[in-house]
Chains A and B, each alone.
Chain A
């Protein structure tokens, strides 16, 4: 689905990722884990084609990104940015409909199938009741759900999500993560996302990519990559795990506050 060859990323004179040879197959759900500034978002923007790699290449379906026409690519992969700013009073439904752009070709107006897709995506995100609202009046969590609905409406096999759980309340975090896991399992979609909740990531991901932020990285299936010692090393904080009712719970060790 998507792969990188000898990918190197640098920002502000620092090498973040070095020699990343990484392959993601259809139906896999990857979590990217690392400290702040480890290059997670930079990697995500590079995968989305918003930023050129500092070395190496990114391929989708075996074709390097620069060789893809943007409109074709927009029907293959969708990207959720980490944050967004709304300058204009677009309504929620207009925001979601804009994600149908790659399917419009030269048409001036969208069709009723686009409306159906947009409403289905909003319903999936429990945001259908917001359809007529001005996006600038939404709360942070509502806005995030609308952004994810737009991503779903784009209807691509590959989803790249930069912190999808951002600003969501507990119930919606679980709901969104469950939805993404289901998309991988049932519709063979491919998900690559950044998250900070290790327990949730472990529950839904099939694989994990750990970034150290100095060029080192570790990619593998969840049982291999999400081990307490490895995570403690990559996150720079001691972590314990507890197995509880078939799930693995990750607990950061408390610093001594006394």
Chain B
């Protein structure tokens, strides 16, 4: 449905990725400037310089530093979710797959909610979320390792991986419901916020950046192979693709990306689904452009959503997952409608 390529994609790649990079930087600046006390654009260069030198002296610089941590966490989370979505869609050959479809985030929810129920410290909650995500991934791999080999078609509704994922996901959600129903009133709010996905109090850590960087590197190196598999399914092997190895790689890397994102921000919905969709819609399905575009787009989108979440009914802070879903659902419906026309 994308416009007929008048220029080869190779020539369009640099302007597309460049424009998205600028948009991502702009979103970070907007996030730094907006809030209960706005930072004027004229103050920005000086304040930015102070933050970068590590000596925020002025009020603007202090505000910027405070907001930057949260905005950068939003960026890395959004980028990771969008990248995981692209990989999951290529793996399952289904544009409607998202990072949560296989239940990895549901596993993380079980871990995190259990920790919240037992009143654990924030670090324990994160660790428990990670443990839940890893446990579900291992179960998935154990049950569906047949699908990880080449020589089987991995699309349509009959894929063992997808079916196992959906069942594991609903099993985990049942445990989540159980925990929510027995949780005392006082802990319910934090548990619900975790479920929806919230960036308030998410600390800026190096690990998600390392995970995103490594995932991006893997994805870019496999971009051409992902195209061939997306087009030819298991027959990609006859074009020289090691389909089994690629499927395992996509499964593990998207699993780690998802686990990293939900661990730092809870299960934020829709980013992994609509960002790859929107990028495909705008730039075409070629993964060589889609991958960097989705990472930058997903990052920028979540930064803007989070800025909205903390300002729209300030001083009350909304969970960012509610904003992404509110924006995501109509955008997705619109795209779907345009596609079917």
Chain A residues in contact with chain B, CB under 8 A? 48-51, 70-75, 77-79, 81, 84-91, 93-95, 98-99, 101-102, 104, 108-109, 115, 132, 134, 154
Please state if B151 and A102 are interface contacts (CB–CB under 8 Å). no
Residue of A nearest to B231 (CB): A98
Contacts of A81 in B (CB 8 A): 232, 235
Quick check: A49 and B224 within 8 Å, CB to CB? Answer: no
Taking the closest CB of chain A, its distance from the CB of B1, in whole angstroms, is 5
B240 near A70: Cβ-Cβ < 8 Å: yes
Find chain A residues with CB under 8 A from B337 CB.
Answer: none
Contact B288 A109 (CB under 8 A): yes
Q: Across the interface, which residues of B come within 8 angstroms of A86, CB to CB?
A: 231
Residue of B nearest to A100 (CB): B239
- Indicate which residue in B5, B155, B240, B280 contacts A101 across the interface (CB closer than 8 Å): B240
From residue 197 to 245 of chain B, which have CB atoms closer than 8 A to chain A?
A: 220, 223-225, 227-228, 230-235, 237-242
Give 7 pairs: A residue, B residue, CB < 8 Å, sorted on A. A48-B238, A84-B233, A85-B233, A89-B284, A91-B2, A109-B288, A134-B1
Residue of B nearest to A162 (CB): B235
CB distance from B156 to the nearest CB of A (A): 7
Using an 8 Å CB-CB cutoff, how does the interface string of B297-339 with A read, 1 for contact, 0 for none? 0000000000000000000000000000000000000000000
Task: Return chain A residues, CB-CB under 8 Å to B231.
Answer: 86, 88, 90, 94-95, 98
Most chain B Cβ neighbours within 10 Å, of A48, A49, A89? A89
Given contacts A70-B237, A98-B227, contact A89 B242 (CB under 8 A): no
Q: In the complex, how many angstroms separate the beta carbon of A126 from the nearest chain B beta carbon?
A: 19
| CB < 8 Å neighbour of A49 from B230, B238, B280 | B238
Indicate if the CB atoms of B232 and A98 lie closer than 8 Å: yes
> B4 at interface (Cβ–Cβ under 8 A)?
yes
A77–B238 CA distance with the chains assembled, in angstroms: 8
Q: Measured between C-beta atoms, what is the minimum distance from A68 to chain B in Å? A: 10
Contact of B239 among A94, A102, A132 (CB under 8 A): A102
Asked if B50 lies at the interface with its beta carbon under 8 angstroms from chain A, I say no
Partner of A50, one of B156, B224, B235, B288: B235
Most buried by B among A48, A78, A81, A95: A81
In the complex, how many angstroms separate the beta carbon of A159 from the nearest chain B beta carbon?
11
Q: How many residues of B contact A (CB 8 A)?
A: 36
A85 CB contact (under 8 Å) in B10, B156, B239, B286: B156
List 3 A-B pairs, minimum CB-CB distance, nearest first.
Answer: A74-B240, A132-B4, A71-B240
Residues of A within 8 A of B35 (CB): none
What separation, in Å, do the CA atoms of A74 and B225 have in the docked complex? 13
* Nearest-Cβ distance from residue A148 to partner chain B, whole angstroms: 14
Say yes or no: B239 contacts A90, CB within 8 Å. Answer: no
Tell me which residues across on chain A come within 8 A of B235, comparing CB atoms. 48, 50, 79, 81, 84
- Bound CA–CA A75/B284 (angstroms): 28
For B92, the closest partner residue in chain A by CB is A87
A70-B242, A154-B239 known; A88+B224 contact, CB < 8 A? no
The distance from the CB of A75 to the nearest CB of chain B, in whole angstroms, is 8
Contact between B94 and A87, CB atoms less than 8 A apart: yes
Per the bound structure, the CA–CA distance linking A104 and B228 in Å amounts to: 12
A-side contacts of B155, CB under 8 Å: 85, 87
Contact of A90 among B220, B223, B233, B286 (CB under 8 A): B286
CB distance from A121 to the nearest CB of B (A): 14
Contact: B239 with A99, CB < 8 Å?
A: yes
A101 and B223 alpha carbons, distance in the complex (Å): 11
> Which residues in A have their C-beta under 8 angstroms from that of B284?
89-91, 94
B116-134 vs A, CB cutoff 8 Å, 1 = contact: the mask equals 0000000000000000000
Minimal beta-carbon separation of A11 from chain B (angstroms):
13
Q: Contact: B232 with A78, CB < 8 Å?
A: no
Min CB distance A151 to B, Å, is: 10
User: Is there contact, CB below 8 Å, between A87 and B240?
Assistant: no
| Smallest Cβ-Cβ distance to A85: which chain B residue | B155
Per a CB cutoff under 8 Å, which of A48, A85, A89, A108 touches B2?
A89
Q: B150's closest neighbor in chain A, by CB?
A: A50
Whether B239 and A88, one on each chain, are in contact in the complex, defined by CB atoms closer than 8 angstroms, is no
| Docked-complex contact A84 and B239, CB < 8 angstroms | no
Closest residue to A132 on the B side, CB-wise? Answer: B4
Residue B69 is within 8 A (CB to CB) of chain A in the complex = no
How many Å from the CB of A112 to the closest CB on chain B? Answer: 9
**Is B41's beta carbon under 8 Å from chain A?**
no
Which one of A88, A104, A108 lies within 8 Å of B95 (CB-CB)? A88
Q: How far is it, in angstroms, between the C-alpha of A73 and the C-alpha of B284 when the chains are bound? A: 30
